[in-house]
Amino acid sequence: MNRRVFLQGGLAATVGSPLLAALRQDRLDEAADVLAKATAKGTVSAAVLHVTQGKTVFTRTFGTARSADAMFLLGSITKPMCVTALMTLFDRGEFGLDDLVKKYLPKFTGEGRDQVTMRHLLTHVSGLPDQLPENNDLRKKHAGLLEFAEGAIRTPLSFAPGSRYQYSSMAILLATRVAELISGMGILELVDRTVIQPLGLKHTVLGLGTFKLAEMVPVQTEFAAPEAGAGDPSAKDWDWNSAYWRKLGAPWGGMNASAPDLAQYMSEFLLAKGAVVKPATAKLMVTNHNGSGLTPRGLGFGLGAGAGSPGCSDKTFGHTGSTGTLTWADPASSTICVVLTSLPGRAIEPHPRELAAARVAAAMS
């Protein structure tokens, strides 16, 4: 299945129309062609490409993705979305970025933990690992988020807080655990109330909510990361496609969403609309908080040209997901790029999502 949609202010636009002049039509077609070929060969089962620049929208669907509203497991793109829910509490004065984590999690003390701040958690410099050593065991027994959080609280730090950069899913987990304690709501409900509903997202959910597992695009788990089952038949009841994992709503990787919804979310930061967080907070989230020599990070977002595709400006912000997803926004051209695929990010190099996104970047004027 291969659909093509051009929209301009809600009205269909013809190929080559002056309304699309800001984005090079040939490069957008090349981006779509990458995904069309990947699905035709069977490398990728399903994909959606969605690009916006101002009022111009370019959308294509591929493979088993039946419409632009097809819902993919976002993987780590979940992180900035859950951090956004946390930052709505920041806007209310419920916590500060330099608050010590132990203020909210009293057991998070000793062996350097006393120095970890909320900012450290959100910018991947806390010293916490990406995944827990017991990750697979927890998933095999269908552990809840609280049990994962308790494991993260006990896990030794790899380095002194703020001294190094180490990407950490568990740091985001603890940050969202703080959000739960402050708000009195589980993270699934908090994200729904503070992010999904205010933005009017109809095909986005942390966990499954009222959606059915069958409505979600399956991940090609035979190419999955080790911590997601890696195609092991014995992992079927806890891998990325399992009912357990999809319902869990892990704040580091459990969001399901469509490409247009994800673009709508990214526009909240590209345009600082103030629909979810204050405009100043939106800008704060896409500003570098890490020291010199460390990987630049906003609050939940990757930053700089490296957070986008070759040709993106150093103002770019975005994120990828190990499930095969990618999104970035470049303020220099007001372009948002979303590429959602079912092929895990580690499956092939270069990944079709990256090749397609690079052509989108080349299409920007």
Distances (CA, A) of 208 to 197, 237, 322: 15, 16, 19
**CA dist., res. 251 & res. 189, Å (int):** 12
> What CATH number is associated with residue 200?
3.40.710.10
Tokens of 217: 């695009």
Look at residue 59 and tell me if it is in a domain.
no
**CA dist., res. 168 & res. 157, Å (int):** 11
What pTM, to 2 d.p., does this model score?
A: 0.93
What is the Cβ-side half-sphere exposure of residue 302, based on CA atoms within 13 angstroms? 21
What pLDDT score was predicted for residue 94? 98
**CA dist., res. 262 & res. 68, Å (int):** 11
Look at residue 231 and tell me if it is in a domain.
yes
Look at residue 297 and tell me if it is in a domain.
yes
How does DSSP assign 88-143, residue by residue? HHHHTTS--TTSBGGGT-TT--STTGGG-BHHHHHTT-SS--SS-TTHHHHHHTT-
The residue written with tokens 């957008």 in the block is 28
Backbone angles phi, psi at 3, to 5 degrees: -115, 150
**CA dist., res. 4 & res. 36, Å (int):** 11
Domain coverage including residue 324: 72-77+185-363
Phi-psi region of 20 (alpha: psi -120 to 50; beta: other; left: phi over 0): alpha
User: Are 335 and 329 in contact, with CB atoms under 8 Å apart?
Assistant: yes
What pLDDT score was predicted for residue 16? 34
Residue type, 324: G
Look at residue 65 and tell me if it is in a domain.
no
Number of domain units in the chain: 1
Look at residue 3 and tell me if it is in a domain.
no
**CA dist., res. 345 & res. 174, Å (int):** 25
Q: How many residues does the chain have?
A: 365
Look at residue 94 and tell me if it is in a domain.
no
Q: Does residue 75 sit in helix, strand or coil? A: helix
What pLDDT score was predicted for residue 14? 30
- The stretches in the chain having pLDDT less than 50 are 1-21
Look at residue 227 and tell me if it is in a domain.
yes
Look at residue 306 and tell me if it is in a domain.
yes
